[in-house]
C-alpha cells in the first residue's frame, strides 16, 4: 500500500477499498504514515465524504486499533449514553447512577470540556478526592460492585481516534459528519456495552446547531452502532438555552445532586428521564426511573460511585469568591437566554478551557436565576456570575451581549425532545 495512492483515491471522489482503509488506519496509528499525509486524507474526506459501507469499515478499523472491553463478568445488562455536548448538560452525573439503580450497568467513559461546552470529568473532579483515571481492572470492579462508573477512557481504546482527533483539531477537518461519527462511535463501541443511546444536541449551544446536520449525525451514528452489534438509538434534544440553571463544574454537581434527590430543574429532570427510559428499553429492562429518582435509590448509587472512585460525596464543594449579577434591563418576558453566549461566558469566567491541557476553575460558572419564558421586572437579577478573579467579569459580560432578549410576548415553546432516531 502507498499513502499517496490512498489520498488520490479519496481526492478524486472514489470509494476507498477495505484494504486501503485498514492499512492506512493501522499505518498512521503506528507512525508509518506522516501526519501531513493523514491530514491530506482527512481533508479529502471532509470534501468528498464517505459511503455508508466505507464508513463502517473506517470505524471498524479505528475500533480494531485497540481493545474492546469485555463486560461479560459484570452480570447485568449494560448500556451507555453519549452526548454531543452543550451548556449546563450535567445529565451524565444523574443518569449513570439512575440506570444502575434500575438494574442496568453503565461504564461511562467520558471526556473533558473544550471551548463553550463542559466536560463530565471536569465537573466530577470538583468533588474532593474523586479520581477520573482508573485502570481497566479497577473500572470493571467498580462497575460490577456499584453498577456504574464514570471515568476517563484509557489509551488502549481506539488509539487511532486519539491520534486522528488531535490532527483534525489543528487542520480544520473537524466539520465532517463521517469523521465526527466514526470518532464518537469507535470509542463508544469499544466500551463493550449491549446498548447505546445518543443525546444529539440541537441549537445555538450545540456543536451542530442546525437540525438537519444534527439529524444526519444521529442517523449516521445509529447506523454505525447497529452495524457493529450495539443496539443504538438517538434523541435530538434542545440546546438553544442552557439545560437546568447551573453551568460550571461544582455548580453543576450541586444541581445534579438536587435532581438525584427528587428536586432540581424540570427541564434537566425531563431530559434525563427520557434518555434513561430509552436506555432501559434498549437494554430490555422494565423499571421506573422516576421512582428511583424520588425514593433516594439513585442518589444512594451516586454516593456509592463517588466513594468507590475516592471521592467524598458529603464534602463541601469549591466556591468561587467573586460574584456579580446581571439584571434585566426592562420589564417583560425573557424571550431568549442564548446557550452559546452563556457557555462562552462560563468559559471566560474560568470554568472552561481553550486547549486540552489548560486548567479549569472548579467554582467558576453561571447560575441562571431566570429561564426562557419567565416574566421579569426591570432590575431583577437574571444571572449570577461566579469567578475566582473579578478581572474575568468584563470579558464574560461581553460574551453575553445579544444573548439575553426581553420582549412583551412570550416565546414560542420549544420541545425538549425534538425527535427520536432508530435503526
Statement to judge: residues 242 and 303 lie in one domain: yes
Per-residue pLDDT at 87 exceeds 90:
yes
Task: Could you list the beta-strand ranges (E) of 65-214.
Answer: 79-83, 106-110, 148-152, 195-202
Lowest mean pLDDT among 64-73, 168-177, 212-221: 168-177
CATH number, domain with residue 304: 3.40.1030.10
209 with 109, same domain: the answer is yes
| 248 and 381, same domain (yes or no) | no
Q: pLDDT above 70 covers what percent of the chain?
A: 100
Q: Are residues 342 and 395 located together in one domain of the fold?
A: yes
What pLDDT, on the 0 to 100 scale, is given for residue 97?
Answer: 98
**Nearest alpha-carbon partner for 317 in 13, 105, 93, 24:** 93
Using one digit for the tens of pLDDT, what is the confidence trace for 334-345?
999 999 999 999
Using alpha carbons, select from 180, 218, 175, 213 the residue that is nearest to residue 62.
180
Distances (CA, A) of 255 to 196, 206, 396: 25, 21, 22
Tell whether the model's pLDDT for residue 417 goes beyond 80.
yes
Q: Binning pLDDT at 50, 70 and 90, where does residue 380 land?
A: very high
Which residue, 33, 42, 29, is CA-closest to 1? Answer: 33
Of the candidates 211, 269, 261, 280, the one whose C-alpha atom is nearest the C-alpha of residue 245 is 269
| Centroid of chain to Cα 20 | 32
Boundary-marking domain end, from 285, 314, 343: 314
Q: What is the CA radius of gyration of the chain?
A: 22
Residues 139 and 237 in one domain: yes
Does one domain contain both 31 and 118? Answer: no
Distance between CA atoms of residues 334 and 408, nearest Å: 9
Q: How far apart are CA 30 and CA 64, in angstroms?
A: 13
Out of 82, 215, 386, 392, pick the active-site residue.
Answer: 82
The CATH number covering residue 328 comes to: 3.90.1170.30
Q: Would you say residue 204 lies in a domain?
A: yes
Q: Point out the catalytic residue in the list 65, 110, 182, 183.
A: 183
Clarify whether 168 is annotated catalytic.
Answer: yes
Domain match, 306 and 332 both: no
Same domain for 96 and 139, yes or no, is yes
**3-class DSSP assignment, residue 77:** coil
- Say how far apart CA 311 and CA 125 lie, in whole Å: 9
Q: Are residues 302 and 350 in the same domain?
A: no
Active site residue 82: yes
Catalytic one of 161, 199, 240, 267: 161
User: Domain residues for 29?
Assistant: 3-49
Average pLDDT (309-325) is 98
**pLDDT category of residue 111 using cuts at 50, 70 and 90:** confident
Asked if the structure places residue 63 within a domain, the reply is no
Does position 238 have pLDDT exceeding 80, yes or no?
yes
Question: DSSP readout, 282-338?
Answer: HHT----HHHHHHSSHHHHHHHHHHHHTT--TTSPPP--SEEEEEE-SSSEEEEEE-
- The vertex-121 CA angle with 171 and 88, nearest 5°, equals 85
Total of domains in the chain: 3
Catalytic, 5? Answer no
Distance, in Å, from the CA atom of 291 to the CA atom of 102, rounded to the nearest integer, reads 9
Whether 277 is in a domain gets the answer: yes
Q: Does the active-site annotation cover 17?
A: no
Task: State the pLDDT at residue 413.
Answer: 87
Whether residues 295 and 206 share a domain: the answer is yes
Q: Where is 259: in which H helix or E strand?
A: helix 249-260
pLDDT tens per residue, range 240-253: 999 999 999 999 99
**Chain centroid to CA 365:** 18
Average pLDDT over every residue of 353-382: 93
Tell whether 109 and 198 lie within a shared domain.
Answer: yes
Confidence of residue 352 (pLDDT cuts 50, 70, 90): confident
Instruction: From the candidates 187, 201, 340, 386, give the one annotated as an active-site residue.
Output: 187
With respect to residue 374, please indicate whether it lies within any of the assigned structural domains. yes
For residue 423, being part of any structural domain is answered with: no
CATH of residue 20: 1.20.970.10
The pTM for the full model equals 0.96
User: Which of 265, 281, 314 is the last residue in one of the domains?
Assistant: 314
pLDDT of residue 153: 87
266 and 369, same domain (yes or no): no
Active site residue 228: no
Assigned domain for 328 exists: yes
Residue 276: exposed, middle, or buried by beta-carbon count in 10 A (0-12, 13-18, 19+)?
buried
Output the pLDDT for position 121.
95
Cα separation, 81 vs 108, in Å, equals: 7
pLDDT tens digits, one per residue of 276-288 = 999 999 999 999 9
Query: One of 168, 188, 201, 386 is an active-site residue; which one?
Result: 168
CB 82 within 8 A of CB 202: no
Any domain includes 56: no
Does the pLDDT at position 114 exceed 80?
no
Q: What is the mean pLDDT of the chain?
A: 96
Amino acid at each position: 500500500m502507498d499513502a499517496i495512492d490512498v489520498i488520490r483515491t479519496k481526492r478524486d471522489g472514489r470509494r476507498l477499498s477495505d484494504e486501503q482503509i485498514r492499512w492506512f488506519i493501522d499505518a498512521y496509528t503506528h507512525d508509518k504514515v506522516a501526519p501531513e499525509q493523514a491530514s491530506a486524507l482527512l481533508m479529502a474526506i471532509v470534501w468528498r465524504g464517505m459511503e455508508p459501507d466505507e464508513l463502517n469499515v473506517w470505524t471498524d478499523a479505528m475500533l480494531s486499533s485497540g481493545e474492546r472491553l469485555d463486560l461479560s463478568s459484570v452480570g447485568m445488562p449494560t448500556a451507555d449514553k453519549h452526548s454531543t455536548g452543550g451548556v449546563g448538560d450535567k445529565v451524565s452525573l444523574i443518569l449513570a447512577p439512575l440506570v444502575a439503580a434500575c438494574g442496568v450497568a453503565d461504564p461511562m467513559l467520558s471526556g473533558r470540556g473544550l471551548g463553550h461546552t463542559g466536560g463530565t470529568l471536569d465537573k466530577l473532579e470538583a468533588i474532593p478526592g474523586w479520581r477520573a483515571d482508573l485502570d481497566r481492572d479497577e473500572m470493571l470492579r467498580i462497575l460490577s460492585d456499584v453498577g456504574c462508573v464514570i471515568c476517563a477512557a484509557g489509551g488502549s481504546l481506539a488509539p487511532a481516534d486519539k491520534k486522528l482527533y488531535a490532527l483534525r483539531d489543528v487542520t480544520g477537518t473537524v466539520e465532517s459528519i463521517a469523521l465526527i461519527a466514526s470518532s464518537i462511535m469507535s470509542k463508544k463501541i469499544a466500551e463493550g456495552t449491549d446498548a447505546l443511546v445518543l443525546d444529539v444536541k440541537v441549537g445555538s449551544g450545540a456543536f451542530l446547531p442546525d437540525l438537519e446536520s444534527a439529524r444526519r449525525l444521529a442517523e449516521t451514528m445509529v447506523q454505525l452502532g447497529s452495524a457493529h452489534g450495539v443496539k443504538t438509538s438517538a434523541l435530538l434534544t434542545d440546546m438553544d438555552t442552557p439545560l437546568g440553571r447551573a453551568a460550571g463544574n461544582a455548580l453543576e454537581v450541586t444541581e445534579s445532586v438536587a435532581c438525584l434527590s427528587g428536586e432540581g430543574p424540570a427541564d434537566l429532570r425531563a431530559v434525563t428521564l427520557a434518555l434513561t427510559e430509552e436506555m432501559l428499553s434498549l437494554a430490555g429492562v422494565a423499571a421506573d426511573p422516576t421512582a428511583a429518582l424520588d425514593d433516594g435509590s439513585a442518589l444512594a448509587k451516586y454516593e456509592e460511585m463517588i466513594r468507590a472512585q475516592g471521592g467524598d460525596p458529603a464534602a463541601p464543594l469549591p466556591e468561587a469568591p467573586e460574584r456579580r449579577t446581571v439584571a434585566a434591563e426592562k420589564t417583560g418576558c425573557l424571550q431568549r437566554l442564548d446557550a452559546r453566549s452563556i457557555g462562552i461566558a462560563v468559559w471566560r469566567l474560568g470554568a472552561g478551557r481553550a486547549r486540552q491541557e489548560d486548567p479549569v476553575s472548579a467554582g467558576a460558572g453561571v447560575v441562571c436565576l431566570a429561564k426562557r419564558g419567565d416574566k421579569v421586572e426591570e432590575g431583577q437579577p437574571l444571572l449570577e456570575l461566579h469567578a475566582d478573579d473579578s478581572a474575568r467579569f468584563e470579558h464574560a459580560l461581553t460574551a453575553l451581549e445579544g444573548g439575553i432578549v426581553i420582549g412583551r410576548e412570550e416565546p414560542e415553546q420549544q420541545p425538549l425532545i425534538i425527535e427520536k432516531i432508530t435503526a
